[in-house]
């Protein structure tokens, strides 16, 4: 089974075998168009899903975020970009605006249970009621310049804030909008239940967002909701803000070359992506597709078992995609393996890598 690094325990842990698992993935921000950094984080949950499905695990995935008060256009654009990178769509992709009752209900329950208090039209979570706060980040307090104070000056964060305009909601505490951490807790509990196997996101979400999501969900249920917390490192583009996918593909780069460029680096290592790296990944994807098409015309042969086992073991070992790709590169050059076996091996491993390696089969050769 898959072994993966758990942010909370700070060690690589095996995902317990099961017929089905539930995973929640935080969606990218909706106030801007998604960029390559957002897509790299979405790839993390896609890889987890594909590796576990290879072990015959039925996955149910929910991806959502804080879109309260925002239009849906950016979410739709992200879905198109995700499809271009062969990221499988989640079973659930709710909008917070469509689940206002669940968000308001979560806040009300936290107030009733004494985990939050109301003051001046705001509802503030009292961090003192969450003794495990800080376990994800290694800190021990949500104090910060924008952190509202709870009772007796204790730190906390907003669950509800006053707001005006068409986007505002009616609530028992007046017109306003939920805090930025409420949607993930409420929607995860509503759509996946009170026992969630995996929650994923970028490392930048660990604190304060995921600390708050965990505290809220655990407080309202009375137990640890998420079993494994998995986070991926960030992405830069030559030291700057990552571009949107369209800026890369407009230059002739295959979208799945972007996926390969991500796979060439371990998900827990920061990545500074250069145009040269994208061009190299594009060349590799195109070459492998041509080789797979060529090998497909050879007599069929069983997969190269030793190579496939090494690649799959790498994927099971904390999603070591760079090691798996090195195995494919070795297999491509191994003259002792029949072309038919190379074909079967590449196509089999492409179920996880999802680079559309059989795409050129049957096409005229240049």
Phi, psi of 24 (to 5 degrees): -110, 130
Q: Do 174 and 103 lie in a common domain?
A: yes
Instruction: Examine residue 59 and state whether it is found in any structural domain, yes or no.
Output: yes
E strands, 186-311, are 196-202, 226-232, 235-236, 271-272
The alpha carbons of the chain give a radius of gyration, in whole angstroms, of 23
Tell me, rounded to whole angstroms, the distance of Cα 273 from its chain centroid. 19
Mean pLDDT of the chain: 93
More confident call, 150 vs 305: 305
- Say whether both 340 and 200 belong to one domain: no
Question: What CATH number corresponds to the domain at position 19?
Answer: 3.40.50.620
Q: List residues bridging with 200 in a β-sheet.
A: 25, 230
Range of the domain at 171: 3-232
Q: Do 83 and 89 meet the contact criterion of CB atoms below 8 Å apart?
A: yes
Residues 80 and 123 in one domain: yes
Whole-structure pTM value: 0.94
Residue at 284 is within a domain: yes
Tokens at residue 230, please?
């998995």
**Based on the domain organization, do 269 and 227 belong to the same domain?**
no
pLDDT > 70: percent of the chain:
94
188 and 217 Cβ atoms separated by less than 8 Å: yes
- Is 237 contained in some domain? no
What span, in angstroms and rounded, lies between the C-alpha atoms of 85 and 40?
10
Q: Please name the helix (run of DSSP H) or strand (run of DSSP E) that holds residue 51, with its range, or none.
A: helix 36-54
Q: Could you tell me if 219 and 288 lie in one domain? A: no
CA 198 to CA 322: how far, in whole Å? 23
pLDDT score of 73: 63
Other Cβ atoms within 10 Å of 174 Cβ, number: 16
Which of 152-156, 171-175, 316-320 shows the lowest mean pLDDT across its residues? 152-156
> Both 136 and 52 in a single domain?
yes
**244 or 153, greater pLDDT:** 244
Instruction: Let me know if residue 245 belongs to a domain.
Output: no
Q: Is 242 inside a domain boundary?
A: no
Statement to judge: residues 227 and 261 lie in one domain: no
Residues 288 and 351 in one domain: yes
Report how far residue 17's alpha carbon sits from residue 21's, in angstroms, rounded to the nearest whole number. 9
Q: Looking at the structure, tell me whether residues 210 and 260 fall in a common domain.
A: no
Last residue of a domain, one of 202, 232, 262: 232
105/214 same-domain check: yes
- Please, which pLDDT band fits residue 69 given cuts at 50, 70 and 90? low
Name the pLDDT band for 66 (thresholds 50, 70, 90).
Answer: confident
pLDDT tens-digit map of 108-117: 999 999 999 9
183 neighbors 176 (Cβ within 8 angstroms): no
Quick check: 67 pLDDT over 90? no
Of 197, 232, 267, the last residue of a domain is 232
Span 263-275, mean pLDDT?
A: 97
Q: Tell me which DSSP letter residue 185 carries.
A: H
Last residue of a domain, one of 199, 232, 265: 232
243, part of any domain: no
Residue 246 lies in a domain: no
Is 244 among the domain residues? Answer: no
Query: For residue 148, what pLDDT band results from cuts at 50, 70 and 90?
Result: very low
What total of structural domains would you count in the chain? 2
Whether the pLDDT of residue 144 is over 50: the answer is no
Whether residues 267 and 179 fall in one domain:
no
Are 174 and 125 contained in the same domain?
Answer: yes
Lowest mean pLDDT among 112-116, 122-126, 151-155, 174-178: 151-155
β-pair partners for 80: none
């Amino acid at each position: 089974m898959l072994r993966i690094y758990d942010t909370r325990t700070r060690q690589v842990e095996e995902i317990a075998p099961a017929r089905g698992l539930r995973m929640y993935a935080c969606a990218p921000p909706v106030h801007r168009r998604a960029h390559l950094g957002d897509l790299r984080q979405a790839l993390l949950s896609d890889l987890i899903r594909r590796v576990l499905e290879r072990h015959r695990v039925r996955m149910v995935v929910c991806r959502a975020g804080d879109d309260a008060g925002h239009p849906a256009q950016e979410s739709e654009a992200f879905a198109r970009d995700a499809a271009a990178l062969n990221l499988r769509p989640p079973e659930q992709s709710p909008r917070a605006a469509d689940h206002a009752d669940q968000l308001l209900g979560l806040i009300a329950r936290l107030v009733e249970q004494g985990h939050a208090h109301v003051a001046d039209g705001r509802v503030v979570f009292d961090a003192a009621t969450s003794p495990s706060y800080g376990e994800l980040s290694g800190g021990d307090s949500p104090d910060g310049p924008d952190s509202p104070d709870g009772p007796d000056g204790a730190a906390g964060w907003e669950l509800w804030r006053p707001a005006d305009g068409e986007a505002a909601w009616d609530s028992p505490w007046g017109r306003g909008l939920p805090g930025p951490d409420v949607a993930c807790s409420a929607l995860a509990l509503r759509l996946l239940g009170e026992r969630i196997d995996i929650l994923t996101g970028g490392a930048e979400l660990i604190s304060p967002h995921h600390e708050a999501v965990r505290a809220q969900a655990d407080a309202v249920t009375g137990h640890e909701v998420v079993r494994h917390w998995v986070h991926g490192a960030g992405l830069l583009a030559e030291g700057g803000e990552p571009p949107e996918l369209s800026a890369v593909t407009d230059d002739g780069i295959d979208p799945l070359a972007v996926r390969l460029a991500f796979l060439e680096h371990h998900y827990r290592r920061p990545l500074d992506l250069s145009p040269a790296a994208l061009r190299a990944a594009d060349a590799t994807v195109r070459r492998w597709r041509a080789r797979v098409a060529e090998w497909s015309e050879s007599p069929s042969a069983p997969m190269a078992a030793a190579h496939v086992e090494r690649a799959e073991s790498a994927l099971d070992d904390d999603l070591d995609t760079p090691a798996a790709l090195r195995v494919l590169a070795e297999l491509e050059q191994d003259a002792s393996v029949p072309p038919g076996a190379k074909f079967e091996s590449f196509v089999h491993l492409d179920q996880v890598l999802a680079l559309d390696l059989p795409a050129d089969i049957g096409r005229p050769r240049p």
